[in-house]
């Protein structure tokens, strides 16, 4: 994003040998891949958290989450463009943009379908995600957009193991978000209502909770978290595109299912697991197999534990 000076920054003679050979080198290599996996897993975790908040309070699965993430990324893109890479502003704007989209998702895809069978709202979310994707292709243009140098490229090295500042920023942001969310869930009245609604809608209704309102706010909150995940993804991958949402939504879905769909903590764990498994799988083979590792692992876990890591009483999905 910044107009960088084209000083010959790669003029310095390249240092090729990052890794020692032999056992120690292989260990370092493995650790580096693990860090890649954790970083990717952290983003998946944030997407999955948002996803499971949505699924928890609404009680229906969604395929719009990829588009919610994409909108967050685009909001951040335009905010960075205007404000000159203010991360905090970007976070707020992408959260807000996805929150707003979440409101529409709720109105279009869930509100009328609480008493309809599952596949109805599911197809509506598929339709809505197509709508958003194609509209954004028309509005934002179909081509890739750059998102450069939002975070300085600094590195921390311990031997040959290196972690970039960007990766640290991402992991910290995800941890902060997860902590904030768990605070909301456990310490505020709103959070307790959210929990109640996600466990049993009828009972919540009977004790006087405005179920629809809480479901709507919870859905918006989950979408907002998705928007932040979108920002982090955009900063990490440095390019954004209107069609980027689809595969990401799938990953959020898969991570969330792995964690048991409605449990926020386990969903985060699910995302982390999928991120790590994918990257370790790529270490052995190559990235063409990425989704095979993700889905293969998920299927294996589901065969052993048919409801993911945790099966929570009450939450019916």
- Whichever of 135 and 180 has its CB closer to another protein, that residue is 135
- Whichever of 119 and 187 has its CB closer to another protein, that residue is 119
Q: Which of 95, 99, 106, 253 binds another protein (CB under 8 A)?
A: 253
* Minimum CB distance to another protein, residue 209 (Å): 20
- Whichever of 156 and 188 has its CB closer to another protein, that residue is 156
Site for another protein in 277-316 (CB under 8 A): 278-279, 282-283, 286-292, 294-296, 298-299, 302-303, 306-308
Q: What tokens appear for 267 in the block?
A: 């969903």
Site for another protein in 21-80 (CB under 8 A): 25, 29, 32-33, 36-37, 39-40, 61
- Considering the rule CB under 8 A, would residue 117 count as an interface residue with another protein? yes
Name the burial class of residue 120, with classes exposed (0-12), middle (13-18) and buried (19+) by CB atoms within 10 angstroms of its CB: middle
The region, left, alpha or beta by phi > 0 then psi within -120 to 50, assigned to residue 59 is left
Site for another protein in 155-214 (CB under 8 A): 155, 162, 164, 166
Measure the CA angle with vertex 177, ends 297 and 264; round to 5°.
45
- Considering the rule CB under 8 A, would residue 139 count as an interface residue with another protein? no
Q: Tell me which residue has tokens 């994918």.
A: 278
227, 94 Cβ separation under 8 angstroms: yes
Q: Which of 27, 92, 200, 246 binds another protein (CB under 8 A)?
A: 246
Alpha helices in 149-289 (DSSP H): 165-187, 189-199, 201-206, 211-237, 245-258, 264-284
Q: Which of 6, 22, 208, 313 binds another protein (CB under 8 A)?
A: 6
CA distance 147 to 18: 28
- Whichever of 128 and 266 has its CB closer to another protein, that residue is 128
* DSSP letter string, 79-117: HHHHHTS-HHHHHHHHHHHHHHHHHHHIIIIIGGGTTS-
Query: Interface with another protein by CB under 8 A: which range of 89-97, 133-141, 171-179, 182-190?
Result: 133-141
The Cβ of residue 132 has, within 10 Å, a number of other Cβ atoms equal to 21
- Considering the rule CB under 8 A, would residue 85 count as an interface residue with another protein? no
One symbol per residue from 206 to 235: x for binding another protein (CB under 8 A), - otherwise; what is it?
---------------------------x--
Query: Interface with another protein by CB under 8 A: which range of 84-92, 118-126, 174-182, 190-198?
Result: 118-126
Residues in the interface with another protein (CB under 8 A) total: 96
- The CA-based dihedral angle spanning residues 149, 129, 191, 40, taken in that order and rounded to the nearest 10 degrees: -40
Q: Which of 64, 113, 170, 216 binds another protein (CB under 8 A)?
A: 113
Eight-class DSSP state of 10? T
CA distance 301 to 316: 20
* Minimum CB distance to another protein, residue 208 (Å): 22
């Amino acid at each position: 994003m910044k107009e960088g000076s084209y000083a010959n920054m790669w003029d310095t003679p390249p240092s090729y040998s990052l890794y020692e050979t032999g056992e120690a080198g292989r260990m370092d290599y493995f650790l580096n891949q693990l860090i890649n996996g954790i970083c990717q897993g952290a983003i998946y975790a944030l997407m999955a958290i948002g996803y499971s908040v949505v699924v928890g309070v609404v009680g229906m699965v969604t395929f719009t989450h990829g588009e919610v993430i994409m909108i967050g990324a685009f909001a951040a893109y335009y905010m960075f463009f205007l404000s000159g890479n203010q991360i905090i502003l970007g976070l707020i704007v992408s959260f807000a943009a996805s929150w707003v989209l979440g409101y529409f998702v709720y109105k279009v895809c869930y509100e009328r379908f609480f008493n309809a069978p599952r596949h109805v709202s599911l197809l509506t979310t598929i339709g809505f995600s197509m709508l958003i994707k194609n509209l954004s292709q028309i509005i934002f243009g179909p081509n890739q957009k750059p998102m450069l140098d939002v975070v300085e490229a600094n590195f921390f090295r311990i031997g040959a193991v290196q972690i970039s500042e960007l990766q640290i920023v991402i992991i910290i942001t995800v941890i902060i978000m997860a902590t904030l969310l768990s605070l909301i869930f456990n310490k505020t009245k709103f959070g307790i209502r959210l929990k109640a609604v996600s466990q049993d809608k009828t009972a919540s209704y009977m004790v006087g909770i405005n179920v629809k309102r809480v479901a709507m706010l919870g859905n918006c909150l989950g979408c907002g978290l998705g928007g932040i995940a979108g920002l982090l993804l955009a900063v990490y991958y440095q390019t954004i595109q209107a069609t980027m949402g689809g595969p990401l939504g799938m990953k959020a879905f898969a991570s969330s299912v792995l964690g048991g769909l409605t449990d926020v903590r386990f969903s985060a764990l699910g995302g982390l697991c999928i991120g790590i498994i994918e990257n370790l799988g790529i270490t052995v083979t190559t990235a063409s197999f990425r989704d095979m590792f993700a889905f293969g692992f998920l299927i294996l876990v589901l065969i052993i534990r048919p409801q993911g890591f945790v099966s929570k009483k009450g939450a019916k999905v």
